[in-house]
């Protein structure tokens, strides 16, 4: 590490000194890095980093594109991508708002329509059906075209939070949002750049801050022309200059800077689709990158290192909701084409066929390669007629989605004989692989960084302390020269914490905060660890800093109440508790704390009311 770096980041300098794995005394087992693990690590002296340049933001909006490209704009306006997000008060409603309520266990949910948009309501009931609490939250923004469904979000102090209520178009029903059946986060599930990037044409992001937005949320709601063709200002300037120049027809004139994906090499062509339609098992942002950095013409690995495994098809009957790319690449159509077959071989990005001619549209696409009579369909004519002579009805049937309820997805493996076939044309595997040509094109230290960060993700998900320690073999050598890499430092802290090395976790998170003081995760983790490992008073500054960034975090609010009270600031603690209990009405702990606080103030009736509510919530939770 350079001396200047040490001066700018003293916590990081300390972190580097203690960068070796060793045992630290603690109540949990401390995990040492296994010496027998053989991995190739990157020498810090061989790491050559350069923070990537900020890509062009010269967007003009789809309305400017439509001035010259009217026919395409009219067709695209009907495409689901063009309608991928919007305001609930102005969206053409595809939902059944007359029957917008449902029960889920001991909860009742309802969608209410107002002049300002949707309001979502959660009602918690006890075992006898009595109401424990009722919470209503405005949901002004809808995410999703409605072709498969719609989710709903609200903007609070610059952060986006999802509703527990989702509309599922296939079954035309309301139900819990994906994942809520296992873990109901009420109105507290935060969503960020990774989700917004793929569903919003251009969000109103706060400059240089991760997962933070200004109102109104949408600069352009639907996926825009520029998402696939690149920012349009240079294109407009180019054509304005051509019209003004007498030498517009000169052969030496520069090329139009707008991107036509169809003219790109296959990997870059497909990356335009893959930027959103390749979710994979995990994808890791590269050093210095943000989700919104992708521009048409980039390789996917210019922004992300993506990890995939298999086709996600289970027993030939179900799949994950976003697995089309993995399935298509396993197909003989893709393999035999040597890269010429891709997403736009079948899909017109400017429009979708209507239901009356859908089968004919896709059959024509198939026959471009499988032309009769050279290739004759082996199926009996009666079967073909029964299916409307549809190629995809036989070769690309619908599969239920395993991770999103009430939804299906077309099987993109394009199996020759799909009936009874559970495998894919290439062998199914659960081995994670790096997608595309990233391993050949990306510097080795960035590949190791991505692998290490992936290991931390899995270690935390499985609470695997040994895997966390192994991830540090890859990540620790990178720390000295990546003092500005807040995501890396944050996850290094997570790995140390999982390996029961809290002192090193704290140093890593402090270094991450130094690198990016507005990043939520390291501040939150540091605050919670200091409270749990030390004491409320010592954790107070960290909790206040985390609360400033996100005052809608129940865990932070609850601990900050105790920290303020521990330092004798009972009035501040009391006011925060009163605010928090309206935001988190399911919290029995908040009601119990308020019961004590009201009793100390001599307000016995209020104290007893909160105590009864805490007991009712605890009883309902115990009998759920």
CA atoms of 265 and 540, how far apart (whole Å): 55
CA atoms of 195 and 198, how far apart (whole Å): 6
Task: State the pairing for strand pair 318-319/398-401.
Answer: parallel
Among 486, 501, 516, which Cα is nearest to 19's? 501
- The residues with which 347 forms a beta bridge, in sequence order, are none
Tens of pLDDT, residue by residue over 104-152, are 999 999 999 999 999 999 999 999 999 999 999 999 999 999 999 999 9
Please provide the DSSP assignment of 284-315 as one string: EEPTT--GGG--BTB-GGGTEEEEE-S---BT
User: Are the C-beta atoms of 82 and 222 separated by less than 8 Å?
Assistant: yes
Predicted local confidence at residue 301, as pLDDT:
98
Confidence of residue 546 (pLDDT cuts 50, 70, 90): very high
CA atoms of 216 and 81, how far apart (whole Å): 20
CA atoms of 178 and 167, how far apart (whole Å): 11
User: Are the C-beta atoms of 564 and 537 separated by less than 8 Å?
Assistant: no
Phi, psi of 493 (to 5 degrees): -60, -40
Residues of CATH 1.25.40.10 domain(s) within the chain?
3-45+480-622
Q: How far is CA 446 from CA 33, 47, 290, 441, in A?
A: 21, 9, 15, 10
Predicted local confidence at residue 53, as pLDDT:
93
| 284 or 371, higher pLDDT | 284
**Residue 365 pLDDT greater than 50, yes or no:** yes
Tens of pLDDT, residue by residue over 575-604, are 999 999 999 999 999 999 999 999 999 999
Among 404, 496, 406, which Cα is nearest to 452's? 496
Average of pLDDT values for 33-61?
68
Predicted local confidence at residue 494, as pLDDT:
98
Average of pLDDT values for 259-288?
96
Give percent of the chain with pLDDT exceeding 70. 88
CA atoms of 373 and 169, how far apart (whole Å): 40
Predicted local confidence at residue 427, as pLDDT:
40
Predicted local confidence at residue 35, as pLDDT:
37
Instruction: Decide if domain 3-45+480-622 falls under CATH 3.40.50.300.
Output: no
CA atoms of 122 and 136, how far apart (whole Å): 7
547-581 burial, b if ≥16 CB within 10 A, otherwise e?
bebbbbbbebbbbbbbbbbbeeeeeebbebbeebb
Confidence of residue 522 (pLDDT cuts 50, 70, 90): very high
CA atoms of 400 and 585, how far apart (whole Å): 35
Predicted local confidence at residue 24, as pLDDT:
27
Please provide the DSSP assignment of 209-267 as one string: -TT-EEEEEEEE-SPPHHHHH--SHHHHHHHHHHHH-TTTT-TTPPPP-S--GGGS-HH
Q: How far is CA 426 from CA 309, 329, 524, 549, in A?
A: 12, 9, 44, 47
Tens of pLDDT, residue by residue over 85-104, are 999 998 877 888 888 999 99
The number of beta carbons lying within 10 Å of the beta carbon of residue 295 is 18
- What is the residue-averaged pLDDT of the chain? 88
Predicted local confidence at residue 122, as pLDDT:
98
Alpha carbon dihedral 298, 299, 301, 304, in 10-degree steps, equals 50
Give percent of the chain with pLDDT exceeding 90. 73
435-461 burial, b if ≥16 CB within 10 A, otherwise e?
bbebeeebbebbbbbbbbbbbbbebbe
Question: Helix H segments across 397-517?
Answer: 438-441, 444-462, 465-475, 486-498, 502-515
**Residue 36 pLDDT greater than 50, yes or no:** no
Q: Which residue has the tokens 């690995």?
A: 301
Among 34, 19, 26, 17, which Cα is nearest to 501's? 26
Confidence of residue 32 (pLDDT cuts 50, 70, 90): low
Compute the C-alpha angle 143/150/458, nearest 5°.
Answer: 75
Q: Which of 26-30, 189-193, 482-486, 530-534 is least confident? A: 26-30
Compute the C-alpha angle 160/163/165, nearest 5°.
Answer: 155
Tens of pLDDT, residue by residue over 206-216, are 998 999 999 99
Confidence of residue 339 (pLDDT cuts 50, 70, 90): confident
Task: Tell me which H or E stretch contains 386.
Answer: helix 381-386
Average of pLDDT values for 413-438?
71
Predicted local confidence at residue 10, as pLDDT:
34
Among 266, 260, 265, 274, which Cα is nearest to 350's? 260
**Cα-to-chain-centroid distance, residue 618:** 33
Tens of pLDDT, residue by residue over 378-412, are 778 887 877 888 898 889 999 999 989 988 899 99
């Amino acid at each position: 590490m350079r001396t200047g770096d040490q001066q700018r980041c003293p916590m990081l300098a300390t972190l580097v000194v203690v960068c070796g794995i060793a045992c630290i005394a603690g109540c949990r087992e401390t995990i040492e890095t296994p010496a027998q693990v053989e991995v190739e690590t990157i020498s810090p002296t061989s790491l050559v980093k350069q923070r990537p340049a900020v890509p062009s933001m010269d967007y003009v909006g789809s309305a400017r594109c439509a001035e010259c490209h009217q026919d395409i704009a009219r067709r695209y306006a009907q495409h689901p991508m063009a309608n991928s997000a919007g305001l609930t008060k102005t969206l053409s409603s595809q939902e059944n708002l007359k029957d917008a309520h449902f029960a889920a266990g001991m909860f009742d949910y309802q969608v209410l329509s107002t002049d300002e948009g949707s309001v979502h309501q959660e009602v918690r009931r006890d075992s006898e059906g009595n109401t424990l609490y009722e919470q209503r939250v405005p949901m002004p923004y809808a995410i999703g075209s409605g072709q498969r469904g719609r989710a709903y979000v609200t903007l609070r102090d610059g952060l986006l939070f999802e509703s527990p209520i989702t509309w599922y178009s296939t079954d035309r029903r309301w139900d819990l949002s994906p994942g809520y059946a296992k873990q109901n986060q009420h109105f507290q599930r935060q969503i960020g750049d990774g989700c917004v990037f793929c569903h919003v044409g251009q969000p109103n992001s706060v400059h240089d801050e991760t997962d933070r937005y200004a109102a109104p949320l949408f600069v352009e709601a639907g996926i825009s022309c520029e998402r696939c063709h690149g920012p349009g200002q240079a294109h407009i300037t180019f054509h304005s200059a051509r019209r003004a120049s007498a030498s517009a027809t000169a052969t030496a004139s520069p090329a139009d800077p707008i991107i036509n994906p169809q003219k790109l090499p296959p990997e870059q062509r497909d990356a335009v689709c893959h930027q959103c339609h390749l979710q994979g098992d995990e994808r890791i942002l590269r050093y210095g990158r943000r989700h919104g950095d992708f521009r048409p013409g980039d390789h996917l690995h210019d922004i992300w290192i993506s990890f995939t495994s298999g086709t996600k098809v289970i027993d030939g009957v179900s799949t994950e909701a976003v697995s089309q790319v993995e399935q298509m690449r396993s197909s003989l159509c893709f393999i035999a084409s040597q890269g010429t077959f891709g997403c736009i071989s079948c899909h017109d990005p400017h429009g979708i066929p209507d239901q009356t001619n859908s089968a004919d549209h896709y059959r024509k696409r198939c026959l471009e390669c499988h032309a009769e009579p050279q290739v004759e369909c082996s199926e009996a004519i009666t079967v073909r007629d029964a299916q409307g002579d549809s190629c995809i009805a036989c070769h690309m049937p619908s599969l239920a989605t395993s991770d999103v309820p009430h939804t299906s997805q077309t099987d993109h493996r394009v199996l020759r004989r799909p009936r009874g076939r559970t495998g894919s044309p290439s062998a199914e595997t659960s081995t994670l692989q790096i997608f595309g040509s990233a391993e050949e094109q990306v510097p080795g230290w960035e590949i190791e960084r991505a692998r290490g960060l992936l290991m931390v993700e899995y270690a935390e998900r499985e609470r695997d302390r040994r895997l966390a320690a192994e991830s540090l073999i890859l990540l620790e050598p990178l720390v000295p020269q990546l003092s500005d890499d807040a995501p890396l430092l944050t996850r290094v802290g997570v790995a140390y914490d999982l390996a029961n090395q809290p002192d090193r976790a704290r140093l890593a998170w402090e270094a991450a905060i130094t690198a990016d003081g507005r990043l939520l995760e390291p501040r939150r983790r540091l605050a919670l660890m200091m409270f749990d490992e030390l004491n409320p008073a010592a954790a107070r500054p960290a909790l206040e800093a985390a609360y400033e960034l996100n005052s809608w975090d129940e865990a932070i609010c609850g601990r900050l109440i105790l920290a303020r009270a521990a330092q004798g600031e009972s009035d501040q603690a009391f006011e925060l508790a009163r605010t928090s209990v309206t935001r988190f009405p399911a919290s029995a702990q908040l009601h119990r704390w308020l019961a004590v606080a009201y009793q100390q103030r001599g307000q016995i009736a209020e104290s007893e009311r909160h105590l009864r509510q805490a007991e009712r919530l605890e009883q309902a939770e115990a009998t759920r």
